[in-house]
Structure 1
Amino acid sequence: MREDAPVWELEAATFDADHTQALAARLGEQLQAGDLLVLSGELGAGKTTFTQGLGTGMGVREGIISPTFVLVRIHPNLPDGPRSGGPDLVHVDAYRLGSAAEIDDIDLENTMDSSVTVVEWGEDRVEHLSDSRLEIALVRSEGAAVTPAGDFHHNDPKDAGGRDGVITDFDEDDDNEERLIRITAYGERWAGRKPDLSVD
């Protein structure tokens, strides 16, 4: 198997920001130190909203906002939280970084093993940081039938092309719309380990 070949893919739709956060929280409950998540999606697709949900599930300090201007924010695990002793969340915004070399300049390697690292706009910039990663694409779907989160189906990685009706021009402040969330796993960490993302 090629190193860059996906080991599995999941897809689900969420109805609004709360639903997106609930799904992300379920994923956050199952993340471990050393996990790398790469978030993609146009402005307003819900990357930071998704990260807030991850933080809830991981039991880290609240107040997650996009680190656009500081590049990196660290949210420590709460000793009295739901996952006491769990990993910290390192939240990165790579939008202003043009290459993998610029990623290396911010020394993420120092926290990779002890934290969960979430990188917005990280596609083609951070893959070298870990042999395993989750790539999470958030898109708005227009006129698509929405199935409840947890109604996942396996996708053939060879058939992961574009979809009709995807909106790429929208108001970044409006995230209370349907989202299509595609999670693609790479590497040994995720081989045979699909997370349970069912939401009540």
Structure 2
Amino acid sequence: MEPQNSPAAAEATAYENAPGAVTVKLAVDSPEQMRALGRRLAAALRPGDLVMLTGELGAGKTTLTRGLGEGLGVRGAVTSPTFVIARVHPPLSDGPALVHVDAYRLGGGLDEMEDLDLDVSLPESVVVVEWGDGKVEELSDDRLQVFIDRAVGDTDDERRTVTLVGVGPRWAGLRNESWTPWG
């Protein structure tokens, strides 16, 4: 079932229509597929990339980030940083660190985000921000925005619609990739 009228779907539509944005929509049927998508996305990420995740509570943002961490080969379990705001997962080998931020409890704008020194971490890390809309866009002209939706009012169904929106020249080839490693 295609999610309709959800807040994330409305935000995704606004970004899809932005000049120069590249959009890919995917159906994800399970948490395992969400993690697999994260691992696949990790293969395309490099130091300096900013990934913004948008979706309701329980949509799968942290599950996707776990897959990113697995794919990047970082140390430690990736868990929601809700109460600590940000976690840094150093790489196990030569790859970039993963900086995982949960901006849910932060107020608006870049001011509070500046206290986290993300602008310092960004060049050598992959920075993933949950709930970052309206708060971190100024960190980079190039970013990957990921919108995760489930059917409105359906809390039991595991199916999600994931919309990847690449903003900026870095993501111009987004549509040319195969993003569904499960089939």
Cα 1:136–1:52 shift into 2, 3 Å: same
1:192 corresponds in structure 2 to 173
Q: Which consecutive segments of 4 or more residues in structure 1 shift more than 6 A?
A: none
Unaligned runs of 5+ in 2: 1-17
1:112 corresponds in structure 2 to 122
Which stretch shifts more, 31-40 or 52-61?
52-61
Counterpart CA distance in 2 for 1:126 and 1:6 is 19
- How far the C-alpha of 1:6 sits from its partner, in A, is 4.2
Counterpart CA distance in 2 for 1:30 and 1:135 is 14
| 1:44 maps to 2:58 | yes
| TM-score, normalised by the number of residues in structure 2 | 0.84
2:26 corresponds in structure 1 to 12
| 1:101 maps to 2:111 | yes
> What do residues 69-89 of structure 1 show as CA deviations (whole Å, max 9, x unaligned)?
11110011112xxxxx11110
Aligned residues between the structures: 163
| 1:69 maps to 2:83 | yes
Within-5 A mapping of 1:1-200: 5-79=19-93, 85-99=94-108, 100-141=110-151, 166-167=152-153, 170=155, 177-194=158-175, 195-200=177-182
Counterpart CA distance in 2 for 1:60 and 1:184 is 25
How big is the alpha-carbon RMSD for the aligned residues of Structure 1 and Structure 2? 1.6
Cα 1:36–1:177 shift into 2, 3 Å: same
Residue 62 of structure 1 contacts residue 75 of structure 1 at CA under 8 Å; is this kept in 2? yes
Unaligned runs of 5+ in 1: 80-84, 142-165
Counterpart CA distance in 2 for 1:132 and 1:5 is 13
Counterpart CA distance in 2 for 1:120 and 1:192 is 24
- How far the C-alpha of 1:61 sits from its partner, in A, is 1.5
More helix by share: 2
